[in-house]
Amino acid sequence: MAMTNEEFVSANEHGKMVKSILPSVVSVKYDRRIYRIVIALSSGLELSFSPKSAQGLEHAHPNELVDIEITPSGLGIHFPKLDADIYIPALLEGFLGSNKWLAEQGRKGGKASTVAKAAAARVNGKLGGRPRTKEPITA
């Protein structure tokens, strides 16, 4: 599907607006000492996170994280050895992956079994368990 001139102009205007509002990446590095990606933004804010928390980086070897590039817009970072990208505005919103990937992480967390979780389930069971929905859910 070809892009029209109007769409091209609109996309450029949107990009300029986003760039004027959001801070851009000034520098990025992988810190082996603390096993974290460290990003410095033009606003002075510095972010760091574990690669295990980000989609596409969760199984990365430290050698694959050393080379990181800032995208031309300054709003993203690219890991050439992994062919993975992180969009900084999404990172600032707290999303380190797609909805599907985040849902899978939630499922993994929900499967976690702890003493406190088991005790809470027993108490809830004594109270009659989870309340029924008022209307049956149909798929």
Arithmetic mean of pLDDT, 95-122: 70
Arithmetic mean of pLDDT, 117-135: 75
DSSP 133: P
Token code pair at residue 20: 């004027």
Cβ–Cβ < 8 Å for 25, 70: yes
Cβ–Cβ < 8 Å for 74, 80: no
Quick one: what percent of the chain has pLDDT higher than 90? 40
Domain residue spans in the chain? 22-96
Distances 111 to 3, 19, 21, 38, 96 between C-alpha atoms, Å: 46, 40, 40, 30, 21
pLDDT score, position 77: 96
- What's the gap between Cα 130 and its chain centre? 31
pLDDT tens readout for residues 11-42? 888 888 877 788 899 999 999 999 999 999 99
pLDDT tens readout for residues 46-67? 999 999 988 889 999 999 999 9
For residue 110, pLDDT beyond 80: no
- Give the right CATH number for 22-96 from 3.30.450.20, 3.40.50.720, 3.30.2020.40, 3.20.20.10: 3.30.2020.40
Cβ–Cβ < 8 Å for 89, 47: no
- pTM of the prediction? 0.62
